[in-house]
Every structure is written in structure tokens, then in C-alpha cells.
Amino acid sequence: MHRALAAVVLFTMLSAAVGCSHREQLHKEALLRGSLVVLRSEITQFTLDLQRPPDSLSELVASGYLKRIPADPFTGKNDTWRTQKSSAGEHLEVHSGSDAISEMQFMVGKMGAIAIFRKICRVRLATAATGRELPS
């Protein structure tokens, strides 16, 4: 009897820990998406204004496009962002400096933010109309 109770308590504690970890991961992913939107928007504006991409994220701060470089939610630092110029040097891309690859980062890389936004809207509209969620 005591073993069964101990097993139930242990299972409950592990489930809670996994649930908290998952919520924390989703929160970090949301923060990452927000930071990437800001960074990419300012990179685009810099590129349009000066007809060239910035050499680094620090140049965005020095030029007044950003007050400061945001911290990467996965590394907790603002100097770990990975930047890469296109082969022609026309575009600067920015990514999280973390080695952890989440499902959402994979989806953003493959589908693009607009496609994800459309999918989320479609699911929410269908859920509101039918009262049940669509399969992913």
C-alpha cells in the first residue's frame, strides 16, 4: 500500500516538473520570437536606410536603431546571438546563440513566421467555429 502511494506521489511530482519545464520552454520560445522580430525589423530598416546591412548587431546600437541588444532568452546573454551575412553580402540574418533546437525554431526556419502566424490563426478560427481543435 505504501509503495503504491509513494509511486503516485513520485509520478505526480515528476509530471509537475515536466509541465513546468515545458511551460518555461514555451515562454522562452515566445521571448525569442519577440526578440527576433525586433532584431530583424531593425536590421531591415538599417539596410533600407543605408543601402547595406549592418556589420554586426552592435552597429544597430551605435547607429541608434536599438537602445541595446536584447538578451537571448536561451543563453541569458546579449552577446551570443549568431549573425550571418548572405553570400552576396546583401542581408544579415540573426539566430539564437543557443545550441538547443526547439520545435518552434525548426518551424520558423522551415516555414517562416508568416506561415506560422497563418496556421495559428486558422487553428484558432476553426476552434472558435467548431468548438474543437484541428489536428496539427
The pLDDT tens digits for 3-58 are 655 555 555 554 444 445 778 888 888 888 999 999 999 999 999 999 999 999 99
Q: How far is CA 76 from the centre of its chain?
A: 13
Domain range summary for the chain, segments of one domain joined by +: 2-98, 101-136
| 51-88 pLDDT, tens digit each | 999 999 999 999 999 999 999 998 899 999 999 988 88
Measured CA to CA, the distance from residue 133 to residue 129 in angstroms comes to: 10
pLDDT given at position 115: 57
SS (HEC) of 1-65: CHHHHHHHHHHHHHHHHHHHHHHHHHHHHHHHHHHHHHHHHHHHHHHHHHCCCCCCHHHHHHCCC
More confident residue, 100 or 54: 54
pLDDT given at position 87: 80
pLDDT given at position 135: 53
pLDDT at 128 over 70: no
Residues 72 and 98: beta-carbon distance below 8 Å:
yes
More confident residue, 115 or 85: 85
Measured CA to CA, the distance from residue 109 to residue 103 in angstroms comes to: 10
Mean pLDDT over 107-120 rounds to 54
Handedness of CA 19, 21, 25, 27 (dihedral sign): positive
Relative orientation angle of helices 2-50 and 103-111, to the nearest 10 degrees: 30
